[in-house]
């Protein structure tokens, strides 16, 4: 009689996490004080945002990413010569080129392996995680830094109250290490990743500038309600996809760590999954929407304060400009 055993596989296991926020925190009233035609009440009611961090002149995507990565490496006990892959999700690189990931690589003293940026706006961290996971599982690297970092406030038109109150700056990072797994959902590490995009929705969320068109950086423009509607529907689908791929159910999830764009979208996802509010990690109240940085910032906060513990099942999901969207299940 033959015994069917799951094939042994390589898993990308979380070995460390880190975060970095700009020094300056700006609350809603301070925006009103700076002349934005809004109110603390409107912003809180419609988005759940109370404050955001705004990068100063000496703080950039690369400096924030480097600080978050350094913390993650320290926690993992990993030195610069062990890191052989850096994937950075960002929409706000320091330079048009080279990739900000290579500047982070140099700043960390990492001289081997390879580094590149991923551009998927608010889904950037999920995309970066999926790319790093693929590289580790294929044996192209053994120890990866996956970073989401943004200075999104540099893209804001402070005269446009429909967007300027929504975003903030920051960075978060994970160290992933290739380790053998049994090939089951009980393994530690990234269990599954799911990515999507649909370029027909460009006009709903975009920046009105770029090196090949205007030669400027541009400002973010958004049709908020259209994005909101798509977010709720697409995120529900991609979460179902992750559960179906692993044979897990919503009741197995220990933590939902969603992209932090709007408290109403976050609450809708929690309700859809039947998760009590205590199992949903929320930072949007203090960080606002930090695009690709929001999920790793939230992961670092919840793992740092002892909520997320080794062995627990974490669901991440995000949706952003493109549109892009994606999800992943990670056993911490
Ligand atoms: O991370 C990428 C994904 N992004 C998202 O997921 C964002 C998704 N969208 C949203 O979160 C929401 O659509 C917003 C928070 C952007 C907007 O909330 P909303 O409930 O959809 O508001 P609305 O756009 O329908 O605007 C309602 C009213 C309008 O006034 P009128 O036309 O009803 O008189 C706006 O002019 O609120 C007004 N308004 C504001 N009022 C005070 C818009 N922005 C502001 C503001 N302060 N900052």
Q: What are the backbone dihedrals phi and psi of residue 74, each rounded to the nearest 5 degrees, phi first?
A: -60, -45
The finding on whether 122 has its CB within 6 A of some atom of ligand 1 is: yes
The finding on whether 158 has its CB within 6 A of some atom of ligand 1 is: no
Inter-axis angle of helices 61-76 and 100-108, nearest 10: 50
Q: What are the backbone dihedrals phi and psi of residue 112, each rounded to the nearest 5 degrees, phi first?
A: -120, 180
pLDDT number for residue 7: 66
Residues annotated as catalytic (active site), given as ranges: 122, 259, 289
How far, in Å, from the CA of 79 to the mean position of ligand 1?
45
pLDDT number for residue 2: 55
Q: Which atom of ligand 1 is nearest to the CA of 231?
A: 6
Residue nearest to atom 47 of ligand 1 (CA): 38
CB neighbour list of residue 237: distance below 8 Å, 6 or more residues apart = none
How far, in Å, from the CA of 49 to the mean position of ligand 1?
12
Question: Taking a C-beta distance cutoff of 8 angstroms, is the pair 147, 171 a contact?
Answer: yes
Domain topology for 9-181: Peroxisomal Thiolase; Chain A, domain 1 (3.40.47)
The finding on whether 263 has its CB within 6 A of some atom of ligand 1 is: no
Same fold, 9-181 and 189-331: yes
How far, in Å, from the CA of 80 to the mean position of ligand 1?
44
DSSP H or E stretch at residue 273: helix 263-273
The finding on whether 318 has its CB within 6 A of some atom of ligand 1 is: no
Give the pairing type, strands 313-320 and 255-258.
parallel
10-residue stretch averages of pLDDT, the chain, 332 residues long: 69 98 98 98 98 98 99 98 98 98 98 98 98 98 99 98 98 98 97 98 98 98 97 97 98 98 98 97 98 99 98 98 98 98
Quick one: which of 263, 245, 239 has its CA closest to 314? 239
pLDDT number for residue 5: 60
Residue nearest to atom 38 of ligand 1 (CA): 162
How far apart are the C-alpha atoms of 192 and 328, rounded to whole Å?
A: 5
Instruction: Kindly list the domain boundaries of the chain, sorted by start residue.
Output: 9-181, 189-331
Q: Please count the CA atoms within 13 angstroms of the CA of 243 that sit on its side-chain side.
A: 16
pTM for this one? Answer: 0.97
Pocket mutation for ligand 1, best pick of 228, 263, 289, 325 (most atoms within 8 Å of C-beta): 228
The finding on whether 206 has its CB within 6 A of some atom of ligand 1 is: no
pLDDT number for residue 8: 85
Domain topology for 189-331: Peroxisomal Thiolase; Chain A, domain 1 (3.40.47)
pLDDT number for residue 95: 98
How far apart are the C-alpha atoms of 306 and 287, rounded to whole Å?
A: 20
How far, in Å, from the CA of 203 to the mean position of ligand 1?
16
């Amino acid at each position: 009689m033959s015994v069917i055993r799951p094939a042994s596989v390589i898993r990308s296991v979380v070995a460390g996490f880190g975060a970095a926020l700009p020094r300056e925190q700006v609350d809603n009233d301070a925006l009103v004080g700076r002349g934005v035609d809004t109110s603390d009440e409107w912003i809180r009611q419609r988005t759940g945002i109370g404050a955001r961090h705004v990068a100063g002149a000496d703080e950039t995507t690369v400096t924030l990413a480097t600080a978050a990565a350094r913390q993650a490496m320290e926690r993992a006990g990993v030195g610069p010569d062990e890191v052989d892959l850096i994937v950075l999700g960002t929409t706000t690189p320091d330079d048009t080129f080279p990739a900000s990931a290579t500047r982070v690589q140099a700043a960390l003293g990492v001289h081997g392996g390879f580094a590149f940026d991923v551009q998927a706006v608010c889904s950037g961290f999920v995309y970066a995680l999926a790319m790093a996971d693929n590289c580790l599982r294929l044996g192209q690297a053994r120890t990866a830094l996956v970073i989401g970092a943004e200075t999104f406030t540099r893209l804001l038109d402070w005269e446009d109250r429909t967007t300027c109150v929504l975003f903030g700056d920051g960075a978060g990072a994970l160290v992933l290490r290739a380790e053998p797994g049994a090939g089951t959902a009980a393994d530690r590490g990234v269990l599954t990743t799911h990515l999507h995009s649909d370029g027909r929705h460009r006009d709903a969320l975009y920046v009105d500038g770029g090196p090949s068109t205007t030669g400027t950086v541009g400002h973010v423009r958004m049709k908020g309600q259209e994005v909101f509607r798509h977010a709720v529907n697409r995120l529900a689908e991609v979460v179902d996809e992750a559960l179906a791929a692993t044979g897990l159910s919503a009741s197995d999830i220990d933590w939902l760590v969603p992209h932090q764009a709007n408290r109403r979208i976050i609450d809708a996802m929690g309700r859809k999954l039947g998760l009590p509010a205590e199992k949903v990690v929320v930072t949007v109240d203090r960080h606002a929407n930090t695009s690709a940085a929001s999920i790793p910032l939230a992961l670092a906060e919840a793992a740092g304060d002892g909520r997320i513990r080794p062995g627990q099942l974490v669901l991440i999901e995000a949706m952003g400009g493109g549109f892009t969207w994606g999800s992943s299940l990670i056993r911490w």
